[in-house]
Amino acid sequence: MAEERVGVVRDYFARVEVAGIDLEGTLRSGDTIHIKGHTTDLEQTVESMQIEHEQVEEAKAGAAIGIKVRERCRGGDVVYKVT
């Protein structure tokens, strides 16, 4: 499987288990992502994605999005789309 870099984690909100991501590429609900960092190695399907607390199905480069994640991640972790 190939991976394409699509963004970087800006922040992680532990109470709601959401990663704030600055996108460098396009991401859609249903895409599989791989978040990788110094202590992070998480692969999951994007089930819920929001921009400014509004549910969206697709986001493009330049958007700041929030994605519900299963595990903790950290600012600076790189987000890849698995193709």
Q: How far is CA 77 from CA 12, 27, 51, 55, in A?
A: 10, 16, 19, 23
Residue 51's nearest CA partner among 60, 37, 63 is 63
**pLDDT at position 5:** 98
**pLDDT at position 58:** 97
Structure tokens at 5: 């870099």
**pLDDT at position 66:** 98
Sign of the four-CA dihedral 63, 48, 5, 81: negative
Q: pTM of the predicted model, to two decimals?
A: 0.94
Model confidence pLDDT, tens digit, residues 19-66 = 999 999 999 999 999 999 999 999 999 999 999 999 999 999 999 999
pLDDT band at 1 (very low <50, low <70, confident <90, very high): confident
Average pLDDT over residues 2-20: 97
Is pLDDT of 17 > 90? yes
Q: Where are the domains of the chain?
A: 3-82
CATH code of the region 3-82 = 2.40.30.10
